[in-house]
A = this chain, B = another copy of it.
């Protein structure tokens, strides 16, 4: 059973981009003045969370493809080295990341997802596991965003809309 396929790299890209597209809808659903100001229980604003997610988007795809783990500002053509402070800036870097992820994905070598690697000098695991971790992290924090929207009286997008 050990060499049995669960899903393919191409399927994982579609799955990840589907999640990223849903997160984009959640960002869009936030009123501009609430994205970087509203929170519950002392947690981060959804805008601050998005800045974390941007660092775990394009740079992760680059790391999987090239073994180089950095920040999005290190990637050629990055729109800005400053963390976004407005909804417009978040969405702009989000869309740029979407393209970068697709481009790097096309260059990933066969067998890569079963390689074990220490990333960011801190986290050791197989490449599929790193990818799963950052996707789970996005879903986790987006769930937080859903509660923020509901608390603001705003209907979030359907979970199955990818």
Contact = CB atoms under 8 A, between A and B. Distances in A.
Interface string A46-86: 00000000000000000000000000000000000000000
B8 A8 contact: no
A14 to B, nearest CB: 10
Interface in A138-162: 139-144, 146-153, 159-160
B1 A9 contact: yes
A93 to B, nearest CB: 22
Contacts of A2: 8, 10
Contact of A128 (B11, B108, B139, B146): B11
A1 B8 contact: yes
A6 B1 contact: no
Interface residues of A, number: 48
Nearest to A42: B150
Contact of A6 (B8, B19, B151): B8
Interface of A: 1-12, 15, 19, 40-43, 108, 110-114, 126, 128-129, 131-133, 136-137, 139-144, 146-153, 159-160
25 contacts: A1-B8, A1-B10, A3-B8, A4-B111, A4-B113, A5-B6, A5-B113, A6-B8, A6-B11, A6-B12, A6-B128, A7-B129, A11-B129, A15-B129, A40-B40, A40-B147, A40-B151, A41-B147, A41-B149, A42-B150, A136-B139, A139-B140, A139-B143, A141-B143, A143-B147
